[in-house]
Chains A and B, each alone.
Chain A
Amino acid sequence: MIRLTDAALLAYTKLRARKVRLIVTVVISSLLFGVLALGSFVFRGVVSSTSSFAEEGFGKRYILSAESSSIGRYSEDKTVLERAIALQKDEIARKKIEAKRIGIDYDPTTERLVYQDGGGQSGNERYLDQTHPLALQAINEYLIAHPEPGLPELKKLSAPYGGKNFYESRYIAGFDIGSSKLKVLKDGKESFEENNQQNFNPFSQGLDSFTSSWSLLSGDLLKTFTLDGTVPEISKDGVLPIVAPYSAVEQLLKLKPLPASASASSRLERLKDVRARAGSVEFNVCSRNASSTDLINQALSSKRELEQNKSNKNYEKPSLIYDTPTEPCGAARIIRDVRTNDEKVMSAKWDTFRQLFGQEVPAQTILRFRVVGVAPDPPGFNAAFLDGLIGSILTSYIGVNWYTPLEARKANPALQNLFPDQQINGRANSFYAELPTADSAKKMLDGASCDLNSFSGMPGPVPEGLPPVVDINGQVDDCVKSGKPFYLMPYGSSSLAINDLQKGFSKVFKIAALVVMAIAAIILMGTLGRIIADARRETAVFRAIGAKRLDIAQVYVTYALVISLMIGLCAILTGFGLSQIAQSKWGAQFTVKALVAYNARDLTREFHLYAWSSRDLLYIMLAAIVAGLVSTILPLLRNLRRNPIRDMRDEN
């Protein structure tokens, strides 16, 4: 073997051969490895920044949410439907008797049935109308007989994994509150324009998201998002504490949302402003029960009718006309009542009759809220790609985004009414177990969750071409039997997901490195092979003046190593350069998003889209070296086996 410096000196002479081709090859290979390096820089940067920000959020807490796996099973149980039908039959019978007794003309055929047709896999089956009060009664009876798992079951389940703290949340959803309505009084005023359009919309943002997103959550979990100096408790004057989404607080502070093109510094200024003033924000929400909402709807309908018949001389106004209230969240007003005494008596009889059979007295109440915290907005349905991406990476969410401490429910009947013990229709109460480590959380997630292996399909016959519907109920039964009554999911932060992502990334990174290495080796083989083949005469001369085959091999291996190191270094510099460009383009945007997402107290924190991982960079260097060596081996062996005399003669 010759000295390393001599091998390097002789290898250096090769670098000057076929310069253009060599430069193009090095550039292409460097770009290939550069993409790999960029991936590493950005990924590691995101992970390290996320971990750093997460120190202020849920990042270092390992919480699993648990929802009953048998949720909604009553809708599959025919006995519930039968019970509801029986209840309705019984009620109709009682109504007939009562109507006869009080002397009103009751027609049972006008009753809304507890079921509808067109359900099931065949599309012809009856299914429960879960908005019907009697259907709800049947369901409640079912749930009392078949209680869903709760905190005690979760505590038991998490004991082997070291579960230490437990929490609970209650959601509000459109169905759950029947036809009662909640409406934020924007600027203190009640708007009736969209009264009939209030739907459950998980993608609504700002104040409009209140109705679909308001929930109760254990106060301890809420602390992460509360503002400094605020107390998340009901005040003496009955004002409810609430953590509100960022966009809603902006609205309440009468700040116009910043345009998408707004700079990061103006976003940061806005964030500071919102944080500073959010604690002083109060707002009211009008809560109407179904009867109250019905009267408002009646008033709106009358208004439309009167408007339409303004110039109709033959139009006869109804004897009783309601109008919307003049004060916010007031009762519907009677503005015309020319009913005869008989009509009034009959109307009173009907009111008594309806109330006897469950109809509530119209009622409305104002709920007062005080903002005690700011939570990140979930990425909107129409969010731009980057926003969506940032949102999904910077997840420190707690499900929805309006939260009142669960503890406030005890002292507030309105909350007890809005968030009943038994939840129906899909959005059950959720429970949370906090585990001591990421590992224990992962183990519990893997070992104690009821995992279903397929989607149950839509109601109705299975369309052609789709896989057959899997017996989900059977799987749920198996889960319950095997002591896994909950669906478990990581909650509150992406820490577990990031752990998994890191492992996944390492695998993908290694595979990508192998692929890039193979491609680079093929490219390099073309050029290095040519250069080595070109050097046959030189090899022959070296052999003639005393070089051993190993010496020649050493020169070319050194040459390949130099090329590989150049490629590796160029790749790392390229990756680093590109990550710096990404940082300058999106870094500030990520920083602001992260500050909001993690409710960071320290607003000087920065989100970096790059971080060094010496292991990744070592892989890149190794991959480049292996590619260089592999591409050299074949041409070198061919070269060494050649007859030096012939090579000297051939080249002359």
Chain B
Amino acid sequence: MSKPTDPLISKNYLRLFEGDLDAAIDSLRVAAASQAKRPKQVNSDKPVLVSINHVFKNYKLGRQKVEAVKGVTLDIRQGEFIALTGPSGSGKSTLLQMIGGLDKPSSGQVVVDGQNISKLSDRKLSVFRNKTVGFVFQFFYLQPFLGVKTNLEVPAMFARTKRRARGERAVELAEAVGLSDRIKHLPKELSGGQMQRAAIARALLNKPKLLLADEPTGNLDSTNGRAIIDLFEQVRRDFGTTIVVVTHDDAIAARADRIVSLKDGALVT
């Protein structure tokens, strides 16, 4: 794991604030507070898979500068099940996207599986998302005109996995998520829970080390929601996959090893 950059000595740090010294100092204060609130590590015998160091994410909304994530520092160890919680607009989805390499921090660094993904090229980021990470979305995003099995194989297509190998893996995963009898069905022939299970199976196809789920139960009833969380636990147990779930649901959060809460872009627990 690469050594995190100390923001106090970063030559480029001030540049991020375009010479605004007050803003830079405010940022440092928030970072320091965040450091102080760094949660207690669990599974401390396991290596760190995700290391987030003093990460800021700013963007402009019209003329207004919005700080979506403010100096978050967080380590996630292999095999951990983390729940990212917080009110709407607290920056949890943005943090998740930065961990998954869908977005880049304005400052700070995100290191996943030893790769500083903030510095990866677009092409390498794609490979990273394909091989290291699996995404599960609230709205499933399955291909409507492809059967379940083919849907599961899509990430493997981008990895150029051989047809036979990926087919076997898809069948295996469909069985693991309880969809073996639905393998030839189109997504529209599945229930919401089944679709989400298919989406989880798809996310697992390339055997990622990290599974990122953004409100995976947000579109499901409580029974199906629970079943999905059961599935996450099963996945962690069977495959040793690290899971980070963004959720509003306290019941789901309670099932996690650790709850990481954000408010106004900063960690609060």
Binding site for B on A (CB under 8 A): 2-3, 5-6, 9-10, 12-13, 16, 537-538, 541-549, 551, 644-645, 648, 652
Contact = CB atoms under 8 A, between A and B. Distances in A.
B11 interface: no
Contacts of A545: 129-130, 134-135, 154-155, 158, 202-203
Given A13-B143, A537-B141, A652-B138, A544 B158 contact: no
B129 A551 contact: no
Nearest to B146: A13
B18 to A, nearest CB: 22
B127 interface: yes
27 contacts: A2-B160, A9-B146, A9-B157, A10-B154, A10-B157, A13-B145, A16-B145, A538-B143, A541-B137, A542-B154, A542-B158, A543-B102, A543-B126, A544-B129, A544-B137, A545-B202, A545-B203, A546-B127, A547-B158, A548-B126, A548-B158, A549-B122, A549-B126, A644-B102, A648-B137, A648-B141, A652-B138
Contacts of A541: 137, 141
Contacts of B203: 545
B159 A546 contact: yes
Given A12-B145, A549-B122, A652-B138, A544 B100 contact: yes
B150 interface: yes
B208 to A, nearest CB: 9
B164 interface: no
Contacts of B154: 10, 542, 545
Contacts of B100: 544
Task: Determine the main DSSP class of A at the interface with B.
Answer: helix
B89 to A, nearest CB: 12
B143 A544 contact: no
Interface in B144-197: 144-146, 150, 154-155, 157-160, 163
8 interchain residue pairs of minimum CB distance:
A546-B130, A6-B157, A13-B145, A548-B126, A541-B141, A546-B158, A545-B155, A546-B129
B35 interface: no
B143 A546 contact: no
B134 to A, nearest CB: 8
B157 A3 contact: yes
A652 B138 CA distance: 9
Given A9-B150, A544-B137, 18 more contacts: A3-B160, A5-B163, A6-B157, A9-B146, A9-B157, A13-B143, A541-B141, A544-B102, A544-B129, A545-B134, A545-B158, A545-B202, A547-B158, A548-B123, A548-B127, A551-B158, A645-B103, A648-B141
Interface of B: 97, 100, 102-103, 122-123, 126-127, 129-131, 134-135, 137-139, 141, 143-146, 150, 154-155, 157-160, 163, 202-203, 206
Contacts, number: 72
A3 B141 CA distance: 22
Contacts of B144: 13
Nearest to A545: B155
Contacts of A645: 97, 102-103
A546 B131 contact: yes
A207 to B, nearest CB: 75
Given A9-B150, A541-B137, A652-B139, A546 B97 contact: no
Contacts of A13: 143-146
A472 B119 CA distance: 82
A645 to B, nearest CB: 6
Nearest to A6: B157
A547 to B, nearest CB: 5
Nearest to A15: B145
A10 B155 CA distance: 12
A644 B137 CA distance: 13
Contact of A2 (B123, B138, B158): B158
Given A6-B157, A644-B102, A547 B126 contact: yes
A648 B103 CA distance: 13
Contacts of B134: 545
A606 to B, nearest CB: 49
A2 B143 contact: no
B160 A544 contact: no
A3 B157 CA distance: 7
Nearest to B122: A549
B155 A546 contact: yes
A495 to B, nearest CB: 57
Contacts of A10: 143, 154, 157
A9 B146 CA distance: 9
Contacts of B141: 537-538, 541, 648
A544 B135 contact: yes
A5 B161 CA distance: 12
Contacts of B130: 545-547
A132 B262 CA distance: 119
A538 B131 CA distance: 19
Which of A3, A551, A648 neighbours the largest number of chain B CB atoms within 10 Å of its CB?
A648
Contacts of A644: 102
A642 to B, nearest CB: 13
Nearest to A546: B130
A13 B130 CA distance: 21
A16 B73 CA distance: 46
Which of A6, A541, A545, A551 neighbours the largest number of chain B CB atoms within 10 Å of its CB?
A545
A496 to B, nearest CB: 58
A545 B154 CA distance: 8
B94 to A, nearest CB: 8
Contacts of B163: 5
Contacts of A551: 126, 158
Contacts of B159: 546
Contacts of B146: 9, 13
Which of B135, B154, B158 neighbours the largest number of chain A CB atoms within 10 Å of its CB?
B158
A169 B127 CA distance: 84
A645 B99 CA distance: 13
A13 B143 CA distance: 8
A6 B162 CA distance: 11
Nearest to B219: A652
A9 B149 CA distance: 13
A182 B84 CA distance: 114
A551 B156 CA distance: 12
A546 B206 contact: yes
B100 to A, nearest CB: 7
Nearest to B205: A545
Which of A5, A6, A542, A543 neighbours the largest number of chain B CB atoms within 10 Å of its CB?
A6
A16 B206 CA distance: 28
A88 B83 CA distance: 127
A648 B136 CA distance: 12
A538 B141 CA distance: 7
Contacts of A544: 100, 102, 129, 135, 137
A589 to B, nearest CB: 51
Nearest to B153: A6
A506 B26 CA distance: 74
B157 to A, nearest CB: 4
B81 to A, nearest CB: 21
A643 B158 CA distance: 19
A396 B97 CA distance: 79
Contacts of A6: 157
Nearest to A13: B145
A8 to B, nearest CB: 11
Which of B145, B146, B160 neighbours the largest number of chain A CB atoms within 10 Å of its CB?
B145
A517 B109 CA distance: 50
A255 to B, nearest CB: 69
A476 to B, nearest CB: 75
Contacts of A12: 145
A2 B153 CA distance: 13
A537 B141 CA distance: 8
Contacts of B137: 541, 544, 648
Contacts of A648: 137, 141
A547 B131 CA distance: 11
B187 to A, nearest CB: 11
Nearest to A7: B157
Contacts of B150: 9
